[in-house]
Structure formats: structure tokens, C-alpha cells
Amino acid sequence: MATQQRLIRELDFPEAPLGMDLLDRPELNKGTAFTEEERTHFGLHGLLPPQVEILDEQVVRAYEAYQRKDDDLERHIFLRALQDTNEVLFYRLLLDHIEEMTPIIYTPTVALACEQFSHIYRRPRGLFVSYPLRDSIPQLLRNRPNKDVDVIVVTDGERILGIGDQGAGGLEIPIGKLSLYTLIGGIHPERTLPIVLDVGTNNAERLKDPEYLGWRHERVTGQDYFDFVDQFVQAVRDELPRTCLQWEDFATPHARPILQRYHDQSLTFNDDIQGTAAVALGALLGVVKVSGRSLRAQQIVMFGAGSAGIGVADGLREAMKGEGLSEQEARGHFWVIDNNGLLHSGRKDLTPEKSVYAQPEGRISAWPRTSNGHVGLADVIGKIEATVLIGLSTVGGAFNEAIIREMARKVHRPIIFPLSNPTTKSEANADDLIRWTEGRALVATGSPFAPVNYRGRTIPIAQCNNVYIFPAMGLGVVASGARRVTVPMMLAAARRLAGNSPALKDASAPLLPPLTELRRVAAEIAVAVGIEAQKDGVAPSISEDELHRRVQATQWTPAYMTGAHTTI
């Protein structure tokens, strides 16, 4: 009787679903874990097999089913279906197998899911804000499944990972990313909202695919595009003024102007630009200690000058200035290369953000050039003593044997980060880098690589992925009540990540903490972010103890509660 009364009290909300309606609600559904009392109360007898299980038992069965899948895309489809059926079980399964499953729900497998979106589509999740409905965006936002939203991840699908324009299929990226906001950052799953701005696609394959589900139209461009984005941002501000809006996988010509326009008007950040910078900086700050040279003494070659490449260079430059270099001195430490070669002052095609890194033409006038007049990666490596080589170019295999051997000939512990995703776009694979440098290279990659066995040593390969930063940034912003995301908040996140590098204690350990540690590290980073937000005057002033308490209270853990009211 007491139990029944407790259940009824817990169900004291007007729209308590019963029977199949309850089982169809992934945020409430417990499946076979509904107890006898709950089954009686919610009209579930007969709808479920008689055996009552606990979450641990469900996880075992779900993992068995997962292992029966033949390839990574099938595993991805399985996990997404579970997410749409029982959210607590989905997140508990992920948490128990975080290293195995993160690459399945996010990069690299999510790239396949984007390409195949129209063929593997099952159930709606998130919002499609398509250009033909541009005058109804406020209404579309009001149709969102949950009223309160802490974090939105939005893409327009134009520059998905390293695989280009995927149109509406790009929605898989915000879905995957928000799963990590929950898994690692602990942002409540019901308080996240994935969105795709469907402005068409220029991907010929998608356009001619009869099953393509997006708006079948070439991309909207120019002022029409920016007006549409403006309508969207305005609607978010009106409808969800306290929600953090994270931009994801926009093409560079759109990503930067959008960030510049909104970063000091809204609670917003671009993960490709700022998150990548913070994680690369975090990895680098850890690794420079191992290499024995401070950050300000590094010569950095950046291969790729898109959103990510310039974003990382900007973050490293700020950190070098923090170590005492002047702006001009810091700039001199960067050798940035795009598809027209090294950025230098003789080039007429440089955007303002690239011009910052233009080396004086006089410094390279006697250097060799390719037939079209470019100074390429091999030329730069041949001419300078590069200590750090970072790839954010999407050019798979660009760090070839000759280039790496030349770099390693001049530097004892070369720092080499091929960061492009997915794996096929990685500028080098970890095994080659270790062999070509006789085991001396300090390597972090964008996509996951297995540890490398070299002359009796097992060398772990850190995955330098934004996942180290964005879930923690989301947690920090939500817990601290920040109204903006500032550059010092990003730098604080990077420093706290660097402080967690296992290589600081043991030079043979990985450069970044394992995924299994990430919930704890995210909480630490969130506190650092919150403290910095207060210093910057963009968050209400609270004590550090109170901030810790709020971070802990915000971090959601997948567990069933008594009654149907499982996750809210």
C-alpha cells in the first residue's frame, strides 16, 4: 500500500503515460526493469516478458546484441535505436564501454551515418530547420520535443568532418555530439537539442539519390544564407535565451563570420574553431613538458588553414603571449600552409585571419618553390627546425616518410599531431610516425589509433579530439550560469586539460587522459571554466565550493529511479 501511494505521488504530473505510451517514451522507458508494482500501476502487464530485470542485467543483454552486429555502421544503427527506445540503458551501456563505443556513436563512424542518413533513417530526433520554412522558424523551435534546453548543437551540413557536404544528413553530427555532452559532460539528455539548418546541398550524389530526405536544392549562398542564419539566431534568442548554441561543421567562409557576428551577443561558440584549439593546446601544453622545450620555444608548422587550423594557431598564439612573447614574436613561430602553400606576405589571396600568419616574404625569398610558385610542406620542413607539426588539412597521408624523417633528423622529440578526421583523412598513421622517427615522435591523432608496438615498447596514441573540451565547456557554462563563452574560458579549459595529462607523471604514458577518466576531468574543467567566467564578468559571482557543488549537481548519471519518472 505504501509503495502504491509513493508511486502515485511520484506520478503526480498531469500527462503520466500508461501502457504502450509509456514504453514508447525513451526518456521514461525502463523496459524489462519495470517492477511488478510499476507494471500494475502503469498498465504494463502483458506488454513485457514476465522476468523483471535490473539495469546491470539489461546492459549485459544489450552488449551481447551489440557484439552480434557485423560492422561499425550496424553497431551505430543499433546504438541509435537503443537511444530512441531507452535512454538510461543507452547511456549506461555507453558508459560501461566508453572506449569501444565512443568511436561508434561519434567520429569516425558518424561520418558513415551522415553519408547514409537517408538510408538508415528510423525515427525523428532533433529539429530540421529547412530554408523553405524560414518564415516559421520560431514555430519550428516551439515544436521542439522538450521545453527546457541547455545546449543546442547546430550544423548546416556543409563541412562534415573531412567528408564535405552531406546536406541534411549532417544532423547525425549534432546528435552524436550531444550524446557526448550527456555521456561525458553529464548534460541531461532531455535538455539537449540537435538541429540541422537545411539550406540545400551541392553534393551531386545526394541530389540524385531518390531516397535523399533533405531539401533537394542547391545550397543557398551569399546574403540569403546569412539572413537565414540571422533569422535562426534571433528565434533562438527569443525562444531559448539562456541556451548555449554550439556551431558545428560549417564551411570556413561561413564559420568565422558567424562566430564573429554572434560571439559577444549570445551564449555561443564554434567547436571546430575554439574547441579544437583548446584540445590541441591542452595536448601540446602537456607534451612540451615531456619534450623539454617550453611552448614559447616551439617552431610550429600548421598544415591546413581552415576553421580548425587557424583556430588552433590562434589558441597557441594566445598561450605563447601568456608565456611572455609579444604579438609579433609569437606570430614568427608559425609556419602555416594551405592548398596554395605557405602563407607569406607576397600572397594576394589571404583572408584577414590568414594574414596574421603570413611570414615576411624576405624570410623565404631564397627557398625552393614548386612549379606553380608555392612553398610546400616538404620545403618548409627542409628549411626550418620544426618542433611541432599539426595536420588539419583533410589530406590523408600528407605527412610522408621523407617529410617526417627530415623533421626527426633535426629534432630529438618531434611533436606530430595528424588531426584530420575521419581516419582515411589522417595526415599519417600512428604506426608509421613511430617507425619513421625510431620511436621518438610524440604523437596525438584526430581519429583513434591502436597503441603501437615498437622494439618491445607499447606506445599509447592519444586521440586529440574535441571531446576533451566541448562536453566540459557545456557543463561549465550550465553550472556557472555563464552568459558568454570567452577566449580566457577556452584557455582555462585547455590548461586544466593539460594538468590532467598522464604524461606529466610518466613520460611513456599517453598525452591525454583515457576516455574512462573523462567524466571526472570534465567536472574539473567545468569548474575552471566557471571560475574564469566569473573573472571575465560573464557569470554570477559564487564561491568555488558552490561552483563545485553546482557542477556535481548538474552532471546527470544514467540510473533508473523508482516509478516511471525515471530520468526527469
In the bound state with ligand NAI, the residue whose beta carbon lies nearer, of 501 and 554, is 501
Instruction: Match 550550465 to its residue by C-alpha cell.
Output: 478
User: How many residues contact ligand NAI, by CB under 6 A?
Assistant: 29
In the bound state with ligand NAI, the residue whose beta carbon lies nearer, of 48 and 358, is 358
Provide the grid cell at 286.
602537456
Task: Determine, following the binding rule CB under 6 A, whether residue 490 of this chain makes contact with ligand NAI.
Answer: no
Give the integer Cα–Cα distance in Å for 294 and 308.
Answer: 23
What minimum distance in Å lies between the beta carbon of 319 and ligand NAI? 17
Give the integer Cα–Cα distance in Å for 3 and 40.
Answer: 12
Asked if residues 477 and 529 have their Cβ atoms less than 8 Å apart, the reply is yes
Site string for ligand NAI, 4-43 (x = CB under 6 A): ----------------------------------------
- Kindly list the strands in the beta sheet with 192-198, ordered across the sheet, starting from the edge strand earlier in the chain: 127-130, 192-198, 151-155, 244-247, 268-270
Task: Please select the residue that binds ligand NAI; options are 86, 109, 393, 437, rule is CB under 6 A.
Answer: 393
Asked if residues 380 and 386 have their Cβ atoms less than 8 Å apart, the reply is yes
Q: Which among 539, 524, 558, 545 has a CA at the least distance from the CA of 478?
A: 539
Give the integer Cα–Cα distance in Å for 411 and 415.
Answer: 9
Task: Determine, following the binding rule CB under 6 A, whether residue 464 of this chain makes contact with ligand NAI.
Answer: yes
In the bound state with ligand NAI, the residue whose beta carbon lies nearer, of 126 and 306, is 306
Task: Determine, following the binding rule CB under 6 A, whether residue 308 of this chain makes contact with ligand NAI.
Answer: yes
Tell me the catalytic residues: 106, 177
Asked if residues 495 and 531 have their Cβ atoms less than 8 Å apart, the reply is no
Task: Please select the residue that binds ligand NAI; options are 38, 165, 272, 318, rule is CB under 6 A.
Answer: 272
The residue sitting closest to ligand NAI, measured at its beta carbon, is: 306
Provide the grid cell at 100.
569501444
Give the integer Cα–Cα distance in Å for 286 and 510.
Answer: 10
Task: Determine, following the binding rule CB under 6 A, whether residue 305 of this chain makes contact with ligand NAI.
Answer: yes
Q: How far is CA 85 from CA 9, 473, 564, in A?
A: 25, 28, 14
Q: Cite the DSSP H helix spans in 263-322.
A: 276-291, 307-322
Task: Please select the residue that binds ligand NAI; options are 220, 403, 419, 503, rule is CB under 6 A.
Answer: 419
In the bound state with ligand NAI, the residue whose beta carbon lies nearer, of 214 and 309, is 309
- Binding span for ligand NAI by CB under 6 A among 27-35, 205-213, 226-234, 305-313: 305-313
What minimum distance in Å lies between the beta carbon of 487 and ligand NAI? 18
Task: Determine, following the binding rule CB under 6 A, whether residue 425 of this chain makes contact with ligand NAI.
Answer: yes
In the bound state with ligand NAI, the residue whose beta carbon lies nearer, of 245 and 444, is 444
Give the integer Cα–Cα distance in Å for 110 and 211.
Answer: 19
Task: Please select the residue that binds ligand NAI; options are 162, 167, 282, 414, rule is CB under 6 A.
Answer: 162
Task: Please select the residue that binds ligand NAI; options are 392, 411, 441, 479, rule is CB under 6 A.
Answer: 392
What minimum distance in Å lies between the beta carbon of 551 and ligand NAI? 24
What minimum distance in Å lies between the beta carbon of 335 and ligand NAI? 12
What minimum distance in Å lies between the beta carbon of 490 and ligand NAI? 14
What minimum distance in Å lies between the beta carbon of 312 and ligand NAI? 9
Asked if residues 268 and 174 have their Cβ atoms less than 8 Å apart, the reply is no
Close Cβ partners of 505 (under 8 Å, ≥ 6 residues apart): none
- Binding span for ligand NAI by CB under 6 A among 68-76, 258-266, 389-397, 504-512: 389-397
Under rule CB under 6 A, which residues in 249-268 are in contact with ligand NAI? Answer: 252
Asked if residues 546 and 496 have their Cβ atoms less than 8 Å apart, the reply is no
Instruction: Match 538541429 to its residue by C-alpha cell.
Output: 195
What minimum distance in Å lies between the beta carbon of 349 and ligand NAI? 10
Provide the grid cell at 360.
615576411
Task: Determine, following the binding rule CB under 6 A, whether residue 420 of this chain makes contact with ligand NAI.
Answer: yes
What minimum distance in Å lies between the beta carbon of 403 and ligand NAI? 12
Q: Which among 162, 174, 167 has a CA at the least distance from the CA of 205?
A: 167
In the bound state with ligand NAI, the residue whose beta carbon lies nearer, of 247 and 560, is 247
Close Cβ partners of 255 (under 8 Å, ≥ 6 residues apart): 159, 247, 270, 272, 273, 307
What minimum distance in Å lies between the beta carbon of 472 and ligand NAI? 14
In the bound state with ligand NAI, the residue whose beta carbon lies nearer, of 339 and 453, is 339
Asked if residues 141 and 127 have their Cβ atoms less than 8 Å apart, the reply is yes
Task: Determine, following the binding rule CB under 6 A, whether residue 421 of this chain makes contact with ligand NAI.
Answer: yes
327 sits in which H/E element: helix 327-331
Taking the alpha carbons at both ends of the chain, their separation in whole angstroms is 25
Under rule CB under 6 A, which residues in 500-539 are in contact with ligand NAI? Answer: none
- Binding span for ligand NAI by CB under 6 A among 13-21, 166-174, 387-395, 428-436: 387-395
Q: Is 383 helix (H, G, I), strand (E, B) or coil?
A: helix
Q: Is 199 helix (H, G, I), strand (E, B) or coil?
A: coil
Task: Determine, following the binding rule CB under 6 A, whether residue 157 of this chain makes contact with ligand NAI.
Answer: no
Give the integer Cα–Cα distance in Å for 393 and 418.
Answer: 9
Task: Please select the residue that binds ligand NAI; options are 89, 235, 395, 415, rule is CB under 6 A.
Answer: 395
Under rule CB under 6 A, which residues in 327-356 are in contact with ligand NAI? Answer: 337-339
Give the integer Cα–Cα distance in Å for 374 and 364.
Answer: 11
Binding site for ligand NAI (CB under 6 A): 159, 161-162, 252, 272, 276, 279, 303-309, 337-339, 392-395, 419-421, 425, 446, 464-466
